[in-house]
Amino acid sequence: MSMGERILILGGGVIGLASAFELGKRGHQVTVIEKNKCGGQASGAAAGMLAPFSEIGEDPDDFFQLCLASLRLYPTWQKEVKSLSKCEFEYTNSGSLHAVYHEADLLALETRQAWQREWGAETEVLSANQLHQFEPELSTDIIAAMHYPEESHVFAPDYVKALEQACRNLGVLIEDELEEVAIIEWKDEIKLEAKYGKTFTGQRLIVSSGAWSHELEEIFSIRIPVYPIRGQICAYDNLHGRVKHIVYTSQGYLVPKGNGTLVNGASEDIAGFATDVTEKGIMRLTNWNYQIFPFLKQRIPFHKWAGLRPATQDGYPLIGKLEEAPHIIFATGHYRNGILLSPVTAVSVANLVDGMANHVPLHLFKPERFT
Ligand code: FAD
Ligand code: GLY
């Protein structure tokens, strides 16, 4: 195992910070290079659901396996982040309900249940009557829901802050607010240069620049089809205890946070790199969510925001070494599941650096697969 490498991490979102945390723990000399503020983009905007069963309904492929592995790393992972950062953040095993409105949806729910059970999901389809006990204020239009007791959530902005603090405590250097960062050399030594001439060198580079990753296509001469999909999202306040589970529907989701807010997400729109909130985007959520909880009809969200998910052409992230330059490791394109995938990505990246075997298959995620 090669120890104590000098590693540069490009991008201080949840993926860069989680990777820095794991590499820092393993004794590497890590520097996170962030052009703005760490966690200031998608990672700080996320709803924080750890919900592989709700998010991936179609196929038990390697991506699902990656998501599930990460969910199961979370109990230990979040404890470690808290202990090394000395910061608190919410991690709640609330369980979730995947709700449906029509008889015709029941078959799809049962198909999903059959294969998810094979993967160890303790799922149960609850009838409208049973649901009344689980989540008393749920709309009576919902005819059934799948209960996933394992699904959980974190308060994403606090989790990311704790990760940053844990990194600092481990001796990871955080170089943020650099405005612009360019890769000057990468074929052998890595050299990065920031706007006012400040340079950084290292033996390895981890690319975790989220929705901006395609900017590196030219320098690496590979296709990097990662593009921003804006998620507009809002929250209601003063709802302590009224909603207990994550509720997921085909039109949106609700996540009850420990601070009494109820997070309601999220749109998926193409708006380039704009992170503003539009009336139309939020109305799509507010026009629907009272069909989940009728009491929301009278309420106005107290907070609205948006973030840019790093989407990829095939929906899978890019995790792996460049074949021609194995000292360059990609960890980007996590689209809707970067918070969930942060532990497994970090461990996978660190195993790649240390030449250790990964227990989850990564070949589907090869960074050069689009070239
Ligand atoms: P980012 O957080 O965007 O970080 C990338 C960083 O790289 C940025 O800080 C950027 O400034 C920096 N950067 C870019 N280029 C450069 C450069 N050249 N030099 C230096 N720095 C650079 N995921 C879940 O798991 N569960 C959820 O419930 C969930 N809900 C979501 C809800 C919404 C509304 C949104 C928008 C996303 C949600 N996600 C969720 C997805 C999740 O937020 C993302 O997958 C994840 O944050 C991606 O992390 P990242 O570190 O790759 O990207
Ligand atoms: N995973 C939830 C979202 O991306 O909106």
54-92 pLDDT, tens digit each: 998 777 889 999 999 999 999 999 999 999 999 999 999
Number of folded domains that form the chain: 2
Q: Whose CA is closest to atom 32 on ligand 1? A: 46
Q: Whose CA is closest to atom 5 on ligand 2? A: 266
| Alpha-carbon span 198 to 192, nearest angstrom | 8
Q: Does one domain contain both 142 and 194?
A: no
Q: Does one domain contain both 284 and 257?
A: yes
Q: Which atom of ligand 1 is nearest to the CA of 178?
A: 20
| Alpha-carbon span 286 to 254, nearest angstrom | 11
Residue 45 sits at φ, ψ, to 5 deg, of -100, -10
Q: Whose CA is closest to atom 12 on ligand 1? A: 11
| Alpha-carbon span 260 to 205, nearest angstrom | 41
Ramachandran bin of 179, using left for φ above 0, alpha for ψ from -120 to 50, beta for the remaining angles: left
Please work out whether the CB of residue 265 comes within 6 Å of at least one atom of ligand 2: yes
The CATH number of the domain where 138 resides is what? 3.30.9.10
Separation of CA 274 and ligand 1 centre (Å): 14
Which one of the ligands is nearest to 205 CA? Answer: 1
The alpha carbon dihedral of 335, 340, 341, 343 has a sign of positive
Separation of CA 342 and ligand 1 centre (Å): 11
The domain of 208 spans 6-51+157-226+314-365
* Token code pair at residue 186: 């990468």
295 belongs to a structural domain: yes
Q: For residues 163 and 157, is the Cβ–Cβ distance under 8 A? A: no
| Alpha-carbon span 193 to 60, nearest angstrom | 42
| Alpha-carbon span 56 to 70, nearest angstrom | 14
Query: Of all helices (H) and strands (E), which one includes residue 277?
Result: none
> Which residues contact ligand 1 via a Cβ below 6 A?
10-16, 33-36, 40-43, 45-49, 181, 208-212, 231, 233, 265-266, 307, 309-310, 332, 334-340
* Token code pair at residue 296: 């929301």
Length of the chain: 371
Separation of CA 44 and ligand 2 centre (Å): 12
Separation of CA 266 and ligand 2 centre (Å): 6
* Token code pair at residue 303: 């907070």
Q: Does one domain contain both 340 and 196?
A: yes
Q: Which of 312, 339, 356 is the last residue of a domain?
A: 312
- For Cα atoms 217, 223, 227, give the angle at the middle one, nearest 5 degrees: 80
Q: Is the pTM of this model over 0.95?
A: yes
131 belongs to a structural domain: yes
Please work out whether the CB of residue 309 comes within 6 Å of at least one atom of ligand 2: yes
Mutate to test the pocket of ligand 2, among 49, 98, 234, 289 (most ligand atoms within 8 A of CB): 49
Q: Does one domain contain both 247 and 206?
A: no
Please work out whether the CB of residue 156 comes within 6 Å of at least one atom of ligand 2: no
What tens digit of pLDDT does each residue of 200-243 get?
999 999 999 999 999 999 999 999 999 999 999 999 998 999 99
Which one of the ligands is nearest to 67 CA? Answer: 1
Q: Does one domain contain both 147 and 258?
A: yes
Separation of CA 135 and ligand 1 centre (Å): 31
Separation of CA 237 and ligand 2 centre (Å): 20
371 belongs to a structural domain: no
Separation of CA 364 and ligand 1 centre (Å): 21
Q: Does one domain contain both 192 and 304?
A: no
31 belongs to a structural domain: yes
Q: Does one domain contain both 292 and 192?
A: no
Distances in whole angstroms, Cα of residue 252 to Cα of each of 54, 87, 246, 248, 255: 11, 31, 11, 6, 10
Q: Does one domain contain both 321 and 221?
A: yes
Q: Whose CA is closest to atom 4 on ligand 2? A: 336
Please work out whether the CB of residue 16 comes within 6 Å of at least one atom of ligand 2: no
Backbone Cα Rg of the chain:
21
Q: Does one domain contain both 127 and 232?
A: yes
Residue 311 sits at φ, ψ, to 5 deg, of -85, 155
Per-residue pLDDT of the chain (371 residues; tens, 9 = 90+): 446 899 999 999 999 999 999 999 999 999 999 999 999 999 999 999 999 999 987 778 899 999 999 999 999 999 999 999 999 999 999 999 999 999 999 999 999 999 999 888 889 999 999 999 999 999 999 999 999 999 999 999 999 999 999 999 999 999 999 999 999 999 999 999 999 899 999 999 999 999 999 999 999 999 999 999 999 999 999 899 999 999 999 999 999 999 999 999 999 999 999 999 999 999 999 999 999 999 999 899 999 999 999 999 999 999 999 999 999 999 999 999 999 999 999 999 999 999 999 989 999 999 999 99
The CATH number of the domain where 201 resides is what? 3.50.50.60
Q: Whose CA is closest to atom 2 on ligand 2? A: 336
Please work out whether the CB of residue 311 comes within 6 Å of at least one atom of ligand 2: no
12 belongs to a structural domain: yes
> What are the start-end ranges of the H helices in 135-216?
156-169
Residue 10 sits at φ, ψ, to 5 deg, of -90, 105
Q: Which residue do the tokens 């970067």 mark?
A: 338
Q: Which atom of ligand 1 is nearest to the CA of 192?
A: 19
